[in-house]
Structure 1
């Protein structure tokens, strides 16, 4: 018997080893979300990398014929799958956002007559842009390849955390060029470029910087660029119409073989002679601090010209991250799941040099002591599921992100936590103060290797900033008046949830006074519910509700990225009281059913890019995050099986392993985090609670690495497209007779088994 038991253990270990050794990046499809409104990019990056090296198929100026250019919204990530040409390859991108910026330091290889204008879509041959075909394009985790048809150049890209690595295979040519466009960028505001500078150190090494005034108003980025082969000559063109040079600049010929150049709008070029099949490689390091920082980043991260070695090292990083959750399922399920995992691990991004230095919100240079500093905090989106996911599979990294937010607070002249921050800038985008949700969630779940009481003070200070976006009126009246803010209702609802988060954090830390103050504030959502209309409703300063009101529209109704139908359900912290407020269980279920079944007329889709048919199911807006918890609210009613039904209906409609496979902006990973949780069978309806609502698992099984050598093992029996209803749940050998898991249930490790069927219980 002992030998048999030993053999069983050995077989079990081999099975586990085989599962862990499976190549998971084969299921990652970076091309997913690049068509329509997913706003992802297909290029190369490592997990949470500072460099995102990706092709631009076009860019858009902020204005077109004196008006806002709607193409700006299409090119948030610089790449649209349906485009036929590539302009070049730049080093910084947002993933899945609804706003544009970045696109720094665009590089384009060409042959033949030198052209320093990109040309146009309808006349690509007039410039350096090139037609391309998806048949000659490969997008993998940390690897991108495409053939540029105009020049017959094969472009390959890979990265480290702070360095972009280019490999261009040229045809035979006496006129081969590498163009460095210092003026290119995504979302080209008028006068976005404040200044650019470039210095040629020798015939293989170039350095410089770029200062921009875009969405991030005062952004600086430095670079160090090295070629694998010396260039034979170089030059530039200044595209500014009015630029005066004095002193040095007026005394030297700068156009050809210049030692250094500076200006607002510059494009430089470097000339080579190439043999057939010759590879020219470029290492391009960036730094938020200095040229010396960029040079040090390159020396630390890429000390070889072996492209395949750098590619493999980055892909090994992805394998390690992806293996934090291993699932069982068919190929399509795995492609959806691991592409979602990939998208959740792009942002936030590392924002510091290898020595820990970074530029702070106060525009001074700081050093991250004992933590990694991050940026790109789209907190209105990511507080919902992305950061809770990190608290399970990557708690140390999430704690560093919280430390980055607290450093932001210390550097903030407004004494506020981040709202939507990027590159040492606060963009003040969207509503709420949702950094408090992320911080409170970490504290509640025991992932707080920082001064939690100081963090609570930062949360309270932010929540009492009377001058910010209606907080003063919110504190005085218990709601934000319609006259004060066009998003008065949604802001009131979001503040109420954030206040509940502060209350939970205070309770955990034993601060009774703060708990009582903010638990009271968390009930303010009731002040904007109108029992007459049956919706959360804009309310005037005199206490009356607005008379002219359309609960279906998204424009000028008191809400941001949603309508009253969806936002009325935005009380994630108190669903039981919301159900009572709305008339009880029966009426609430009817309301929920109507949300999913009512088809919005076409006129509502034309109002704004915020709501498109891509992310709509009936009147339910999955493409916008305020609805992400909604399907789980049935768990608080007498028909929880409807949560299971709706989740399994949403998953295949909103997520597919195709270029158009995301039903809305990925929003720096929030859409993908929703998929991961929901396909595993549970979801954090109210971060800062230790509870997860039960849904309906869409995988056949999963192993979640929860740290300290522990795993949370998910077994799913009889799951299928029709078998979406839970018959029973067994947790660690005992029936689970509730519709919730605790954080401890997951992090302590163990086994949960879902028994599925075609009929609801």
Structure 2
């Protein structure tokens, strides 16, 4: 009898223990579920098809990492830089190519099935229709069914290696075409060769031919590895292209394609280091994790689901387009000299490159876009690009404004890299070798530098009109020396040089170079020489200093680059008060600009829905254009002239009209130059802007009208002291667009401005919104 209570107590204790363990297990599961829920997949919010009806060769991205050397995706159009690549309305896939970069293309492949009928013409007739209904696209992954062959093609990648997974139909002869000799986007691929180097391995090369913009050929080396044996390698003598037959299998066929611009050996090393395994899903997840990590640097709350999706689509575009050209070991193609050479990036103590080297479209317009976004949210990216630009100077004696294939392209005009690098220095991202940076930048602003050359002026240095700018204080239009390169529009060149001179003056001042600072500051006033007080516009002058006859401020590209005079007149970001004074004071300037916005609103604030539409007789006359870079700062001009209410009003309207939709038919109006318009949209939606590109000491941010209730920016602690910077808005909605009251860290702020040091030390900016 005495044993029974002991037995009951024991059972009771065990029962309680099990209940406790179950409770702890449930709590643990709940915590895991909670963690899973909290971890947001920002990639799922991205809409990759945005504006793909107006796509251009480097615009569309799917199976790619941020800034990856490989940008693997289907091509539905292959003839020309504009109107090529992935175009939504074209229903035929012509291959999957690995390089979609500024003035570069290469390595197109196509999985096929081969019947007896197809064998005789498969090299010339292999395109396949597809259907968007059976297509899946997300950052880092693309899946599509080739209707002709009933092959499911799945694509993903590391930085330098494309990874394919093909599910072939049963009982069909399977193959993969290597379309090495073809035209793709901006250039032809020629001299393509492929050799089998193992049971399941191939090695190859091809040449990307020169273009009008990239004047030298570029060798592309690639290594192919498959998870199945190659049963035959066939070369077609007519096309020079290749077909491999592979063993029939019911399992998916995997193929790795590592590329390099320096050697086959380095293409192999890129695979060995970045993709040593065959786990396709692991690479998809790795890509997703990398994108999530970068997209998640900005967390938003509030707004509609579409607002949030478009925001992360914009942010995604801000992190792509510009492409790595260096290998994992730091080798890179240097085409800046008379003879091609393989360069070597500096290595750290572990033997890894200190930075990557890049292919990039122009930094023309970057002062209002990636300067601010990268500098605040992705400082490591801004530092790395600055180091890459400096490497070009060490190799070729000039900092480029848009390099391709390891060489200068002289794309666009001016010294657009100067504000970018000066901004990086002023924000403390570049701390060492400042004298070297300064001398490199200064060279571009003097005779012998890049300012002398306009777009694609490879062999002369007269098109930029720099000698007239220095002698007369303006670049004449038309230029009397002849036709050299593109964009010889003297009024725009004058405005651009003046602003860039001012930014260089800020760096000279920082380094104690007072004489230089005064010299470039004086040059920055040259815009005044083209202000016509009678008309109230910036007005081109001829070489004799006479006003350009029959001047029409709404006529496109007559003295102005990709703009008209009404748009370009406001391109004085460094001295808007001075410009307003010429117009008769701030009130007069505000009245003038407000009237321009009212007129632009009737046309939707853009010159049509594509870059080509800017030449349309009606659209070209729009007084403000948010579809191209020259006037994208204008909403924030009001704030600089004492009217932050108008900045809030018009910036919200622009976001609503231009940067809100999720459609394959529109989005950036056809001119998303490698992250510039995506960055602009992000900045307008978080309500931060930098009129002069963040180039003054302790750069200033202008506060606009944030779209969301809460914005949390995760700060990179390798560069900045603070953990996060928050923007909280109260009573924010479509009507309450004005900022009534501002507090930073619970202290009232009397201006609509905040400085870089305050932001990066962390804190909370609270904005009371009102009607």
TM-score (norm 2): 0.85
Root-mean-square deviation (CA, aligned residues, Å) is 2.7
* Distance (Å, rounded) in 2 between the aligned partners of 1:318 and 1:748: 25
- Return the match for 1:365 from 342, 359, 363: 342
How is 1:721-740 mapped onto 2 (pairs within 5 angstroms)? 721-740=734-753
Larger Rg computed on CA atoms: 2
**Residues 1:178 and 2:176 aligned together:** yes
* Distance (Å, rounded) in 2 between the aligned partners of 1:587 and 1:118: 68
Matched residue, 1:255: none
How is 1:437-456 mapped onto 2 (pairs within 5 angstroms)? 437-456=419-438
- Return the match for 2:64 from 24, 45, 61: 45
Post-superposition offset of 1:220: 2.0
Matched residue, 2:150: 152
* Distance (Å, rounded) in 1 between the aligned partners of 2:715 and 2:266: 35
* Distance (Å, rounded) in 2 between the aligned partners of 1:581 and 1:115: 73
After TM superposition, the structure 1 stretch with the greater mean CA deviation from structure 2, 630-639 or 18-27, is 18-27
Post-superposition offset of 1:344: 1.1
SS of 1:196 mapped into structure 2? strand
* Distance (Å, rounded) in 2 between the aligned partners of 1:531 and 1:749: 45
Q: Is the 8 A contact 1:109 1:179 kept in 2?
A: yes
Matched residue, 1:231: 230
SS of 2:510 mapped into structure 1? helix
**Residues 1:301 and 2:314 aligned together:** no
How is 1:70-149 mapped onto 2 (pairs within 5 angstroms)? 72-75=81-84, 78-94=85-101, 101-113=103-115, 114=118, 127-149=125-147
Post-superposition offset of 1:115: 6.4
Matched residue, 1:259: none
* Residues 679/188 of structure 1: CA separation in 2 closer, same or farther (3 Å cut): closer
**Residues 1:374 and 2:358 aligned together:** yes
* Distance (Å, rounded) in 1 between the aligned partners of 2:651 and 2:56: 20
Matched residue, 1:635: 639
Matched residue, 1:322: 295
* Residues 576/109 of structure 1: CA separation in 2 closer, same or farther (3 Å cut): same
Matched residue, 1:623: 627
Q: Is the 8 A contact 1:19 1:326 kept in 2?
A: no
Matched residue, 1:248: none
* Distance (Å, rounded) in 1 between the aligned partners of 2:608 and 2:667: 18
* Distance (Å, rounded) in 2 between the aligned partners of 1:606 and 1:686: 28
TM-score (norm 1): 0.86
* Residues 430/47 of structure 1: CA separation in 2 closer, same or farther (3 Å cut): same
SS of 1:74 mapped into structure 2? coil
* Residues 234/442 of structure 1: CA separation in 2 closer, same or farther (3 Å cut): same
Q: Which runs of 4+ in 1 moved over 4 A?
A: 13-20, 115-119, 599-602, 604-608, 612-618
SS of 2:593 mapped into structure 1? helix
SS of 2:100 mapped into structure 1? coil
SS of 2:413 mapped into structure 1? coil
Structure 1 alignment gaps of length 5 or more: 1-12, 62-71, 95-99, 120-125, 240-264
Deviations 1:71-96 (A, max 9, x none): x5222xx01111111111100113xx
* Distance (Å, rounded) in 2 between the aligned partners of 1:116 and 1:516: 73
**Residues 1:666 and 2:672 aligned together:** yes
SS of 1:754 mapped into structure 2? strand
Q: Is the 8 A contact 2:599 2:622 kept in 1?
A: yes
* Distance (Å, rounded) in 2 between the aligned partners of 1:331 and 1:450: 44
* Residues 175/509 of structure 1: CA separation in 2 closer, same or farther (3 Å cut): same
* Distance (Å, rounded) in 2 between the aligned partners of 1:464 and 1:710: 42
Deviations 1:295-327 (A, max 9, x none): 000011111111101111111111111111111
Deviations 1:260-304 (A, max 9, x none): xxxxx63211113534x5311110001111000000000111111
Matched residue, 2:725: 712
How is 1:338-357 mapped onto 2 (pairs within 5 angstroms)? 338-357=312-331
* Distance (Å, rounded) in 2 between the aligned partners of 1:170 and 1:706: 46
Post-superposition offset of 1:705: 1.3
* Distance (Å, rounded) in 1 between the aligned partners of 2:562 and 2:92: 32
Q: Is the 8 A contact 1:101 1:186 kept in 2?
A: no
Matched residue, 1:211: 207
* Distance (Å, rounded) in 1 between the aligned partners of 2:642 and 2:262: 57
**Residues 1:549 and 2:551 aligned together:** yes
Q: How many residues align?
A: 692
Q: Is the 8 A contact 2:491 2:559 kept in 1?
A: yes
Matched residue, 1:475: 470
* Distance (Å, rounded) in 1 between the aligned partners of 2:133 and 2:584: 56
How is 1:641-660 mapped onto 2 (pairs within 5 angstroms)? 641-655=645-659, 656-660=661-665
* Distance (Å, rounded) in 1 between the aligned partners of 2:654 and 2:620: 10
How is 1:306-705 mapped onto 2 (pairs within 5 angstroms)? 306-329=279-302, 330-360=304-334, 361-362=336-337, 363-369=340-346, 370-412=354-396, 415-466=397-448, 467-468=452-453, 469-484=464-479, 486-555=488-557, 557-598=558-599, 609=612, 611=614, 619-655=623-659, 656-664=661-669, 665-687=671-693, 688-689=695-696, 690-705=699-714
Q: Is the 8 A contact 1:615 1:622 kept in 2?
A: no
* Residues 606/35 of structure 1: CA separation in 2 closer, same or farther (3 Å cut): closer
Q: Is the 8 A contact 1:611 1:624 kept in 2?
A: no
Post-superposition offset of 1:14: 12
* Distance (Å, rounded) in 2 between the aligned partners of 1:512 and 1:717: 46
**Residues 1:30 and 2:48 aligned together:** yes
How is 1:192-207 mapped onto 2 (pairs within 5 angstroms)? 192-193=188-189, 195-207=191-203
Post-superposition offset of 1:480: 0.6
* Residues 222/316 of structure 1: CA separation in 2 closer, same or farther (3 Å cut): same
Post-superposition offset of 1:680: 0.8
SS of 2:96 mapped into structure 1? strand
Matched residue, 1:244: none
Structure 2 alignment gaps of length 5 or more: 1-30, 347-353, 454-463, 480-486
SS of 1:507 mapped into structure 2? helix
* Residues 731/55 of structure 1: CA separation in 2 closer, same or farther (3 Å cut): same
* Distance (Å, rounded) in 1 between the aligned partners of 2:555 and 2:589: 21
* Residues 130/672 of structure 1: CA separation in 2 closer, same or farther (3 Å cut): same
Post-superposition offset of 1:416: 2.2
Post-superposition offset of 1:388: 2.4
